[in-house]
Amino acid sequence: MNYEIHIEAFEGPFDLLLHLIRVNEVDIYDIPIAEITAQYLNYLRAMEAMDLDIASSFVAMAATLLAIKARMLLPKPVQEEDSEEPGDARDELVKDLLEYMRFKEAAQTLDAIHKQQTRFYSRPNEEELYLNLFADDNPLDGKTLDDLMQAFTVVLQKVKGREEVLDIPYEQITIKDKIDQIYQLLCQEKNGFAFSSIFDDCNSKMEIIITFLALLELARLCVLKIKQNKSYAQIYIYAAALDKYQQ
């Protein structure tokens, strides 16, 4: 029977050290240097047994760990009262590990952004590619929401004089009724009719709104088509696929 031994690949000595620290669940600021050093050396021996090339940086880190271990095993010199306490032999190693962690996390973040960006394809956005799609003069140049409100006010003013005070039941005018009315008009006017003409018989603001909604619904169903020859010209309504609407 064949047995396979899997040795996890690490990007460098600091990557291996972080792996050992996480596996042993130890505090990075209080590394048990003897235990971590022993596990580190065992990993290098396993690589040698498998005839894997060991980078010089791994060997240099092994020497550093052994040096720190030796310094921590030496007896501490007698401390004088006014002298400063010597630093921990592991301080420099901890500092390098924290710096490596910051760079590793930044690299992982950039890699995630790169993978996300590879899912998108950017469209060329040179201005010259789109100039031929537009007229020399912009028909909407300088137009604002106030201009749109004024246009709607013109339609309302047309029925203001004809508006009558009537006692009618609530929701007497329905969108369905207006759809049927416009549909009949489409069947009769084969050559089309002006957009504004469908509001001529409207006697209230509510009826204008319902008529407009009915027109939009028929356009959504592709029963009619809307055409305007040029900017600011009259809008015309034409019959399209009348069979798509069932009365």
Model confidence, pTM: 0.40
pLDDT in tens, 66-75: 888 888 777 7
Nearest C-alpha neighbor of 205 from the set 240, 162, 149: 162
The ranges assigned to domains in the chain are 13-75+86-117, 145-244
Nearest C-alpha neighbor of 212 from the set 245, 175, 244, 184: 175
| Two tokens, residue 27 | 């505090």
Assigned CATH topology for domain 145-244? Arc Repressor Mutant, subunit A (1.10.10)
* Residue range 87-112: mean pLDDT, rounded: 85
pLDDT of residue 179: 87
CA distances from 225 to 183, 214, 228 (A): 12, 13, 10
Nearest C-alpha neighbor of 67 from the set 90, 99, 44, 96: 90
pLDDT of residue 2: 41
CA distances from 24 to 33, 39, 91, 177 (A): 12, 10, 19, 77
* Residue range 210-236: mean pLDDT, rounded: 83
Residue 151 has phi, psi (to 5 degrees) of: -65, -40
pLDDT in tens, 6-50: 445 677 788 888 888 888 888 888 888 888 888 888 888 887 776
pLDDT in tens, 132-183: 766 666 666 666 777 767 777 877 777 666 656 566 555 577 888 888 888 8
